[in-house]
Structure 1
């Protein structure tokens, strides 16, 4: 969305600061010609349906911001709106939707609520990414300047460089806060206008837990940079809290709550989501070091330069220490946290990650997590079309190729034995790498 699209006032719409009625809001969010009672109208393009919700709601928020101060609207509100509308695959929104569909929903009101909760998740993702870039000192995101770097560049001639850089970081923090505030507003409005009391309570509980988990995970990530050699168990716990829960498990829980799913179904869905979410983070760690920056949209080796205690690096350090490989340990020790790491230095780190077997161990862990996630999904009582869509989405997020299901025989992973508490099992196995 261009900045003008966020601030122009369409004919027939209420003036800035005056909100649509819930009934009108629901009508505005539907695809043209869609039957509001037919969820199949949304199935074909969940991301597009959520995008339409975001487009309208963010236009309202930006218009309100312009009424407060044009500079605030231009510098922060419009940037938050553009960042949210222009990026990502809307995977969190799709998890909400397909969990709702797999659990037997929805009617028109719950379909509408799912789209609005999906929009809120896209905003909280904006908050997380913008804050993450500030904390990491990352100047690129999605192939473009990160939000705080873009603001600093806008005011590059207004003050000496250190002051301008600090201003950009401060503005980035405020932009992330604004995105979080808007996300909370959307959840509150959805609970009040679209949900019964019991469903509203369940949604609020999940949302509250998710926000705290995100902060805890980010804190573990930052604190881990002070440790000389964070353990694989610590790295896995941080990955779970920082990424897996809010990226997959909590969105699935929100969809299940909207559908009023029973406890057993919700439990299996959440377990599948946690497996896929951790696999997603492990895959992201691999991509940061071994991926093509032209595809990832950010410079390679950013986690190494920032000194992030990823599971990949933690496994390499543990293996180097266990094997008495001082050369590998020295390469990792001198490379982590070096902002000026050269391409040659990065190549040395990649060689260590391969040579210690850390890369292969992480790939194997991802495969195991995908298998477990499939098993948990197969254990849940789900509507077939929603279940199949969820399986495809979970595999995509984990970076696994689609696998056709056999025509007969047991579901994949069904012979692996009884489920175990997921986080504990993953952490304990990670510590043994």
Structure 2
């Protein structure tokens, strides 16, 4: 990975290019952190660090931070030890998708972990060793994992989910703790209350860890704005999800609402925004941010569309959730919206009655899955996934072609603002395919 050569800072970009009316607007802001140089080209990024090495670095920083916080909780009261233990265990494992993408966003924008701080002010960039920058980037990436964990903890409470990643959901764990210690009162209520509080603590720790990363990476305005946008969008998206579950299935806007939830609750904060935040930490300008957004948003949508498919027809052994769990939870996903638009009035009445019923039998769930499949709803979503994935892959190819064209004097001013070598191209396309067509 090589240092980023700065380019002219542009105005705030318009929405990312879209290949469907369901695409959400880009959240790439204008950047005023990078110095200007009108005739400079973006630096060539030959390769990207492996997901495994990134995950290991981020996990180490996350565990160290949470161990420190757990000791603080215990110092407040021995009874608060359970908070730290729960968070350490809850944040272990997982795909680390968001940290990997933040890291790669930093690299795609030319950030160099070997050369000291790349983003922020000139004073920021003048301080900090390569090791410091690696730690700072891992902390920023780890803060996204804590934001994700907070969202999952609250999401499981809202959805009344029993499991998460093949283990009892956090509120179920504390419900069992209530019973194990013979506490008074209602165990389920205690579990819910404890999980809401721990989710809030996790959110606060996410902010604290990001602030700590800024001591090394610098306090660039664009990165701080993006961080706030990530927080806002996932919370607003969660509300839209809650709202969608009480809207009649026959509502004319059910598909629009489903795409809003998909984009703002997951697609943006899972893929697009981590990439943008990493790029901003490297000092990316608005043109570069817009181009990265054009790759990240459709890939994020494909990622969440696949999640919706797995929530209906996934293998429980792979997903860690019961088959058809989204039906029992009443999720108004794009998959459900596409099915509702294709079935008869009688079938719609049956689906609407069953959606959100936690006591559905396995046979009733299977009937709903058959309805989704036979109607063509599943095929429509698979087509959306293929289109979104293809769009993201095309952007990656454009970046590689831009790198090849940069060797020529005829390189156009309209060429890609991100330039990658074949190794980086292969890694990005492989990861994009894995996100779009995963089984868990």
TM-score (norm 1): 0.78
- Deviation per CA, 1:306-328: give whole Å up to 9, x if none: 111111011111122xxxx1332
The answer to whether the aligner puts 1:88 opposite 2:88 as a matched pair is no
Q: 1:370 to 1:304 in 2, by over 3 A?
A: same
The farther-off stretch of 182-191 and 105-114 is: 105-114
Alignment map for 1:393-404 (pairs within 5 Å)? 393-399=431-437
1:134 Cα deviation (Å)? 0.3
Q: After superposition, where does 1:365-404 map in structure 2 within 5 Å?
A: 365-379=384-398, 380=416, 381-384=418-421, 385-399=423-437
Deviation at 1:400, TM superposition (A): 6.5
Secondary structure of 1:105's partner? coil
CA contact under 8 A between 2:136 and 2:212: conserved in structure 1? no
Query: 1:270 offset after TM fit, Å?
Result: 1.3
Q: Does 1:167 align with 2:218?
A: no
| Residue 272 of structure 1: aligned partner | 295
Q: Secondary structure at the match of 1:156?
A: helix
Partners of 2:195 and 2:438 lie apart in 1 by 34
When you count helix as a share of all residues, which structure comes out higher? 1
Cα offset, 1:273, TM superposition: 1.1
Contact 1:110-1:258 at 8 Å conserved across structures = no
1:386 deviates by 3.7
Alignment of 1:403-418 (within 5 A): none
- Number of equivalenced pairs: 353
Distance in 2 (alpha carbons) for counterparts of 1:266 and 1:111? 22
Work out the CA distance in 1 between the residues paired with 2:364 and 2:184.
32
Query: How far apart in 1 are the matches of 2:51 and 2:352?
Result: 49
Q: Flag the 1:112–1:160 CA change in 2: closer, same or farther, 3 A.
A: closer
Q: State the Cα distance separating 1:113 from its structure 2 match.
A: 2.4
Deviation at 1:143?
A: 0.7
Asked if the contact 1:268/1:377 (under 8 Å) is kept, the reply is: no
Q: Distance in 2 between matches of 1:92 and 1:218?
A: 18
User: Does the aligned pair in 1 maintain the 2:295–2:396 contact within 8 Å?
Assistant: yes
**Counterpart residue number, 2:306:** 283
Any residues of structure 2 matched to 1:256-267 within 5 Å, and which?
Answer: 256-267=279-290
2:110 equivalent to 1:104: yes
CA distance in 2, matches of 1:318, 1:395: 28
CA contact (8 A) 2:295 2:392 kept: yes
Q: Displacement, 1:160?
A: 6.9
Q: For residues 160 and 57 of structure 1, do their structure 2 counterparts lie closer, same or farther at Cα, with a shift above 3 Å needed? A: closer
Give the CA deviation at 1:260.
1.5
Post-superposition shift, 1:237? 0.9
Contact preservation (8 Å) 2:137, 2:217? no
The 2-side partners of 1:152 and 1:400 are apart by 32
Distance apart, 1:391 and its partner CA: 2.6
Whether 1:355 aligns to 2:374 is yes
Structure 1 counterpart of 2:75, from 63, 67, 72? 67
1:117 alignment counterpart: 140
Show the counterpart of 1:313.
336
Kept in 2, the 8 Å contact 1:77–1:175? The answer is no
Computed over aligned residues only, the root mean square deviation of the Cα atoms, in angstroms, reads: 2.0
Shift of 1:396: 1.5
Whole-Å separation in 2 of the counterparts to 1:365 and 1:220:
21
SS in 1 for 2:327: helix
By how many angstroms is 1:57 displaced?
1.0
CA distance in 1, matches of 2:342, 2:84: 47
Higher relative contact order (CA 8 A, sep 6+): 2
Q: CA deviation at 1:40?
A: 8.0
Deviations 1:184-239 (A, max 9, x none): 00111111x11234x3x222111101111001111010011111125111101111
- Give structure 2 stretches of 5+ with no counterpart: 1-46, 116-129, 399-415
| Aligned residue in 2 for 1:413 | none
CA offsets, 1:279-325, max 9 Å, x none? 111111111111111110011222111111111011111122xxxx1
The Cα of 1:343 is off from its aligned counterpart by 0.8
Call closer, same or farther: CA 1:99–1:383 in 2, change over 3 Å: same
Contact 1:126/1:179 (CA < 8 Å) preserved in 2? yes
